[in-house]
Amino acid sequence: MKSKAIVVAVAVVLCAVLGNLSARAAGDEKAAVKNAASAAQKWLALLDKGKYKESWETAAPIVRERVTKPQFIQGVESARKPLGKVISRNLKSTQYTTTMPGAPAGEYVVIQYDTKFEKKDSATEIVTPMLAKDGKWRPGGYVVRSDSGSAK
């Protein structure tokens, strides 16, 4: 009888500990999404101003290791210039993950925005900040996807 009470007590303690860890993990994930979104907004502001060199310099180390500054600038210019200036950008979704295809294990947040450009009424921008070794969230990926049928 006494051993049954101990098992129940241990089970109650384990549930409390696991529940606390789960809440802490959810809180950590929420903070990660908030910090990553803030970093993404600052980085997108650089792109919006045409500061492509600075955006490469503040990107995640994995970007700077895999793409030269001139390649990055050319790629971003070719994606953004035809679209014109940003008219509006609204957060569509965020997704926290610890894995990304072709990238090392780590912490990532995939952020999607519904964006309206002066020459494109409807596009989706996807920014993927990652937590760098210095503890800062830095964009490790960027894509502009034109939504169909929305060219001006």
- Reading the block at residue 36, the tokens are 């990553």
Per-residue pLDDT of the chain (152 residues; tens, 9 = 90+): 554 433 333 333 333 333 333 334 556 999 999 999 999 999 999 999 999 999 999 999 999 999 999 999 999 999 999 999 999 999 999 999 999 998 889 999 999 999 999 999 999 999 999 999 999 999 999 999 987 644 44
Predicted model pTM? 0.79
- Reading the block at residue 111, the tokens are 């952020």
Q: What domains are there in the chain, each with its CATH number?
A: 2-146 (3.10.450.100)
One-letter amino acid for residue 39 of the chain = A
In angstroms, the CA 25 to CA 60 distance is 24
